[in-house]
């Protein structure tokens, strides 16, 4: 079903070369600009640089593959800029890895694994407060990843890119309300709702309400 876009909540438009996600709303809560994890920008930057060099890519080459400007990539690598969720997702795509891999997730091949709450890899968008928590141990061979997303009131994830290959997402809304925008189509979900989509065009997650929203996300990557 195709719905009209609510103009007050149209925070940005899809675009492969944008370096910024949506701006935080007026009256954002204190602390929304702080990172929730203990991974400083310098560590993220060093991983980006290491993976870029391992792939024999120049900054210009990575900029072309990711759609993120060379200037932004240089600042990220030097630890001078904490990238937004949309930007770091495009960087990961340009490097041929998952966002969790870029965050430092290491492969776990054990037949039984436990991920303790204090062991979660987490990323918080410094501009919006959007939080991404990796819940599942890293089993790249399975192609399945379990995440928890938390979106503050009035915040968007920013437009997220497509992936190479076949990628699907399953969502289960834990609290609040969520709008999933896929291209020009908007799907509105409430607590207890579930949602499935194949990633074939840019999309974003938006919390249009005055209350926080949290939901579980299962990513399925197929060869």
Closest CA to 104 of 53, 59, 57, 46: 46
Question: Given the DSSP bridges, would you call strands 131-134 and 121-124 parallel, antiparallel or unpaired?
Answer: antiparallel
Question: Tokens 């944008």 appear where?
Answer: 18
Closest CA to 39 of 95, 79, 71, 12: 79
In tens digits, the chain (223 residues) has pLDDT values of 433 333 333 344 444 333 433 333 333 333 333 333 444 467 889 999 999 999 999 999 999 999 999 999 999 999 998 899 999 999 999 998 888 888 877 777 777 888 888 888 889 998 999 999 999 877 767 789 999 999 999 999 999 998 878 999 999 999 999 999 999 999 999 999 999 999 999 999 999 999 999 999 999 988 7
- Alpha-carbon distances of 208 from 84, 87, 211, rounded to whole Å: 19, 22, 9
């Amino acid at each position: 079903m195709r719905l009209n876009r609510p103009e007050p909540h149209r925070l940005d438009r899809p675009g492969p070369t944008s370096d910024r996600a949506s701006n935080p709303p007026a009256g954002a809560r204190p602390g929304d600009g702080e990172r929730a994890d203990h991974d400083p920008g310098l560590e993220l930057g060093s991983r980006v640089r290491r993976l870029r060099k391992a792939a024999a890519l120049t900054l210009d080459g990575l900029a072309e593959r990711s759609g993120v400007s060379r200037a932004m990539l240089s600042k990220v690598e030097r630890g001078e800029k904490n990238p937004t969720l949309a930007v770091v997702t495009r960087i990961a795509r340009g490097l041929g890895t998952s966002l969790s891999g870029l965050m430092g997730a290491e492969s776990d091949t054990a037949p039984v694994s436990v991920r303790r709450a204090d062991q979660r890899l987490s990323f918080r968008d410094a501009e919006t407060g959007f939080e991404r928590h990796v819940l599942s141990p890293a089993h790249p061979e399975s192609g399945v990843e379990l995440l928890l997303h938390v979106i503050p009131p009035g915040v968007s994830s920013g437009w997220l890119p497509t992936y190479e290959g076949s990628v699907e997402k399953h969502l289960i809304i834990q609290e609040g309300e969520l709008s999933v925008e896929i291209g020009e189509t908007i799907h509105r979900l409430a607590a207890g709702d579930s949602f499935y989509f194949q990633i074939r065009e840019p999309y974003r997650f938006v919390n249009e309400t005055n209350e926080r929203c949290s939901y579980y996300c299962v990513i399925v990557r197929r060869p």
